[in-house]
Structure 1
């Protein structure tokens, strides 16, 4: 007679008997490359963790970018903060979020993916409540606004812990799609909070910004509770600071981190700045502050939305064609898109009155194209990371197949955190360059557009030289590669 004790445990498959065993949201041994275990139930566990990882990361991205929305509610005559001050204000959370990505990378291995996701979600309450308080007290000092913006950086750290965690759950053959979906679902938190801001402005005007924060207090609670109920901790997940330091011994780790400045740095930097650039241009065209806020909000969400959607497809294309090639094509297209911005800025600088409509159309087209391309590049660069270490693991001596898999997984997770931190600094750079450009005698963004164009040319050259031109030689020599595995 079969008793309850004879029944398969949660996560096990009675036929195969090889599925991971889940006890109290803890999985002692996880091997995503074990096809039998994956098909017997492992893929369902991975999918469940991916869903709630995306939700928690999504809310984190929204809170990280909350000040890109708040500045649209801050007319100078009420808050006393000019355009330059606003660009600096949105650069602060970008900086803090980038720096936090390093400790957040090792947090999932140290505390467990589920445990850290719950904690990091609840931590988002701090910046949300501070922002709410400041927006109903516009007389607060600029220092207080800076401090509140800095706390929003915790939302940026969520990306690193989420990506490291999901990297451990999925096999190499599916990492491009899984990591792209996880990151894209998180990235889409940027346009979503901008849409929430648009709805508030459209319904009650630009005088009730606290409503945006109130909505996100509820969403933070949903993310934390969902992660507590449906996510799991992995017992054999490792990504400590020693692993991160070890990744930095490889030249390609530094190069990929640099390229990520051009992809993710562009996405997050433009996400924070796009609304302000639009608002400035609408004000220059004769809009009132309220009209400029509404018109900017109606457009600003579109770029981050398309950039978020395109990210998983960048990972999928990299799975099929190769991360190096897709990244090269992406940077080439980003050069052309930035050239459109340069032309738009030059036209507007030369004849602002007569050509403002043409320049505005070109500005929007150029920015939206950059968002889409940066999303594709995000997916392809992150696909390159596990590919590099999978190839490198095959050259290691003294390790069995299981040891090579573990080394590749741990190193990939560690580099994702470091590359994410370096890439996030690109968002700081974009806002500081735009701030300096608007403070120049021309008081326009054209100089900043020239800087961006030159940087993308450099990224394209580096990608071609390191990951495309010498692909065949690297494969033959067994060196780290970033092509289709």
Structure 2
């Protein structure tokens, strides 16, 4: 996108005003790195809250039936899939906002909007009679947090020179992705005491078969983020500035005439689409394969349930589910500087090959062997390690693809391509949730394996091989 330079490079308006008079991050003599890094850290803090809000349903849904909600397995999958639909649709809106609204207004107002789904979940989880359509609406509104990514990332890219964009965008996206682990790790802990109990009373939550119910304050899972959201919005409004970009909506959409837009969309679906999809479905998938959702393992219902496999300890998904997003987010942060040093395409190739191998390994554990407790335990840990490997390689690919895009596209287009690819990949939770409701996990993973093979072929042919048309 064209950057205005109407005054000498580096000159800015007084600190109290929003818009920079001019901005040229490629000029090291005038680039204000303090402003750039301040923008990165504040928008990354708020983006982390966006991801926590976006995946709140994935942390809450697996335990709703334990709280007395009358929901089917299919309805639970839809609750965790709907934020993906909404996030993808909203990213198509947020991707065009940075040039129109500027960084300051966009980040501050988006952060305020997070209060709608977060407070809504806090209120409704206290009432087991809440109708399914209301819960589904809250899942849709959680997509606001997902939509933010396609605005925040292009906006941040305006502040950094190309040589640093791999690191900057990797840090922002990677740390932001930690919001997924944050919400899944914090939920089982924060609901256990009445730290903010004045906002609602406790509820009995049924435990694993044979274990007593426990008193929980499930509303805490949502309310805990409210003060941080308020702080983030205030910081964004008071400390951020905006880069003047000249690009209307029609100009931004000329990216669709570039074939690399479509190739990079495929690659980002393989990487972030996998990360987001598995993050949303990991807990339910574990519960239905190796937990209390598998009728071959558990017989009966509630406290009267009896284990068919004597000696098998049914895993609680909340104990493990945060690990996947944590591994993926950490990989994105740690590998981002490496993509700046060695280039993105070769790491995308590593990512794709690793995803193929990890899916192949996980496929061996998608049909639990219920012949003995030992066989079940072995299968569970194969499933767990296979899933963590998929998260690892998808995280590497998340970093490398975001290094590739600023190198492949001119600056005017790079922000739009980042927003577009992020929008499509955000449908990951929906694709995974919908797919797992209409087909077996084995068939779904085989389709994913074939897609990853296709993406590796695209990466090698277009970007990574010697003499590639677009080395990046």
TM-score with structure 2 setting the length: 0.86
1:216 aligns to 2:221 (yes or no):
no
3-state secondary structure, aligned to 1:36: coil
1:435 CA drift (Å): 2.1
What is the correspondence of 1:34-45 to structure 2 with a 5 Å cutoff?
34-38=27-31, 42-45=32-35
Q: Do the aligned residues in 1 keep the contact of 2:191 with 2:220 (CA within 8 Å)?
A: no
Residue 131 of structure 2: aligned partner: 141
Give me the whole-angstrom Cα distance separating, in 2, the residues matched to 1:224 and 1:125. 11
Cα distance in structure 2, aligned partners of 1:77 and 1:295? 15
Contact 2:39 / 2:240 at 8 angstroms: preserved in 1? yes
1:451 aligns with 2:447: yes
Alignment partner, residue 374 of structure 1: 394
1:313 has 2:334 as partner = yes
Matched, 1:262 2:270: yes
SS in 1 for 2:329: helix
Change over 3 Å in CA distance of 1:108–1:166 after alignment to 2: same
1:152-171 aligned within 5 A: 152-171=142-161
Q: How far did 1:361 drift?
A: 0.2
* Alignment-derived partner of residue 355 in structure 1: 375
Q: What aligned pairs does 1:52-451 form with structure 2 within 5 A after superposition?
A: 52-75=42-65, 78-201=68-191, 205=214, 207-235=216-244, 237-280=245-288, 281-283=290-292, 284=294, 285-286=297-298, 295-346=316-367, 348=368, 351=371, 354-389=374-409, 408-437=410-439, 445-451=441-447
Give, in whole Å, the separation in 2 of the partners of 1:331 and 1:118.
Answer: 36
Contact 1:244–1:418 (CA under 8 A) maintained in structure 2: no
Check 1:200–1:380 CA distance in 2 against 1; reply closer, same or farther (3 A cut).
Answer: same
Aligned to 2:206: none
CA contact (8 A) 1:61 1:190 kept: yes
| 52-61 or 85-94, larger mean C-alpha shift | 85-94
> Does the CA-based 8 Å contact 1:61-1:189 persist in structure 2?
yes
Please state how far the C-alpha of 1:64 moved relative to its aligned partner. 0.5
Give, in whole Å, the separation in 2 of the partners of 1:336 and 1:241. 41
What secondary structure sits across from 2:29 in the alignment? helix
User: Which residue does the alignment assign to 2:197?
Assistant: none
Deviation at 1:315, TM superposition (A): 2.7
| Residue in structure 2 matched with residue 13 of structure 1 by the alignment | none
Point out where structure 1 has 5 or more consecutive residues left out of the alignment.
1-15, 390-407, 439-444, 475-480
Is 2:22 the counterpart of 1:29?
yes
For the Cα contact (< 8 Å) 1:106–1:239, is it kept in 2?
no
| 1:36-78 residue CA offsets vs partner (Å, 9 max, x unmatched) | 012xxx0011000100010111101110000001113212681
State the 1:313 CA deviation.
3.0
What are the residue-to-residue correspondences of 1:7-26 with 2, within 5 Å?
18=10, 20-23=12-15, 24-26=17-19
For structure 1, which segment, 258-267 or 195-204, has the greater mean C-alpha deviation from structure 2 after superposition? 195-204
**Pairwise CA distance, 1:448:** 2.2
TM-fit CA distance, 1:160: 0.9
> Take 1:252 and 1:459, find their aligned partners in 2: how far apart are those partners?
13
How far 1:468 moved relative to its partner? 2.1
Structure 2 SS opposite 1:29: coil
Distance 1:93 1:410 in 2: 30
Structure 2's unaligned 5+ residue stretches are 1-7, 195-213, 306-312
Instruction: Judge conservation of contact 1:73–1:207 (CA < 8 Å) in 2.
Output: no
Contact (CA 8 Å) 1:90, 1:272: kept in 2 or not? Answer: yes
Alignment check: 8 A CA contact 2:191 2:221 kept: no
Distance 1:454 1:354 in 2: 32
- Secondary structure of 2:426's partner? helix
More helix by share: 1
Determine if contact 2:91/2:151 at 8 Å carries over to the other structure. yes
State whether residues 281 and 429 of structure 2, in contact with CA within 8 Å, keep that contact through their aligned partners in structure 1: no
| Whole-Å separation in 2 of the counterparts to 1:415 and 1:482 | 17
SS of residue in 2 equivalent to 1:28: coil
Provide, for residues 352-386 of structure 1, a one-character-per-residue CA deviation record: whole Å limited to 9, x for no partner: 75521011101110111111111110110111111
1:352–1:202 CA distance, 2 compared to 1 (3 A): farther
Cα offset for 1:130? 1.6
Q: 1:468 to 1:80 in 2, by over 3 A?
A: same
Shift of 1:107: 1.1
Cα distance in 1 for partners of 2:356, 2:97 equals: 37
Structure 2 CA distance, aligned partners of 1:127 and 1:208? 18
